[in-house]
Amino acid sequence: MRIATWNVNSIRQRLENLCAWAKERQPDVVCLQETKITDDAFPRGELESLGYNLAVHGQKTFNGVAILSKFPLEDVTIGLPGDPSDDHARFIEAVVVHPGGAVRVASIYLPNGNPVASEKYPYKMNWMDRLYDYASERLKLEEDLILAGDYNVIPAPEDVHNPAAWAEDALFRPPTREKFRALTHLGLTDAIRATSDAEGLYTFWDYQAGAWQKNWGIRIDHLLLSPRAADRLTAAGIDKHVRNWEKPSDHVPVWIDLKVDAA
């Protein structure tokens, strides 16, 4: 089973690229972030024609998450628990039922947190605390669990082209990285780092300052796997070439392959 995550930065703008990439990579499950569209306007027809079932949680002009699956989706949950007042469309979870069993998948769009001196950074920190609590509870179920998405977290210096330039950014500040480490220390595996310790494995390049052309990238899109799912991991990759397509997102898809039981 191939599971991917991609911050498309507006599904209206990126629908052609999404469909082209889906035909090329053939993912079974796709977690999308920053769809920036309401549920009623989501381009269901185009994606259903590719064989996907859809679970969407949208919002007009910003945020928005979705799960596409070639297998049935059950037990869809919208919104990260822990703060009923938080109305941002940043979290959706579903159980993907395949012939050999089931995989629980969440699509996550974690807050950016900049500027740090504003209320946005405490919101990010609180959101990460809620994600920690959610993951703690889910891991008790001992399921195949995938937490996929745009975490807006640069985990380590090898995940950024110039660590010094990002030292005070909300994505790389020590408190941010500490909360991400705490999450992984629950028993979650960072799929990309489980398969490679290479530098230069980036998933985002800013539109400004020629970042793509200079390869000034950062790795902020992650797939975190529960112990059961990590045992099934056979491959992981970053589709960097998609950043070079016409009208690209500033993020690229990240994917994993899992060996699942036959029916």
Q: Cβ(252)–Cβ(240) under 8 Å? A: yes
Q: Which of 52, 121, 144, 150 is catalytic?
A: 150
109 classed as catalytic: yes
Q: Using the 8-state DSSP alphabet, how is residue 203 labeled?
A: S
**Structure-token pair, residue 116:** 């740090």
Residues 6+ apart with CB under 8 A from 55: 66, 67, 69, 73, 76, 92, 94
Q: Cβ(167)–Cβ(126) under 8 Å? A: no
Instruction: Using alpha carbons, select from 53, 56, 31 the residue that is nearest to residue 97.
Output: 53
Q: SS3 of 261, please? A: coil
207 classed as catalytic: no
Q: Which of 109, 121, 151, 202 is catalytic?
A: 109
- The single-letter code of the amino acid at 102 is A
**204-205 and 217-218 as β-strands: parallel, antiparallel, unpaired?**
antiparallel
E strand map for 151-238: 189-190, 204-205, 217-218, 221-225, 233-238
Q: Write b or e for each residue in 89-109: b if 16 or more Cβ atoms lie within 10 A of its Cβ, otherwise e.
A: bbbbbbbbebeeebbbbbbbb
What gap in Å lies between CA 107 and CA 196, rounded to an integer? 23
Region of residue 10 (phi > 0: left; psi between -120 and 50: alpha; otherwise: beta): left
Question: Which sequence positions are flagged as catalytic?
Answer: 109, 150
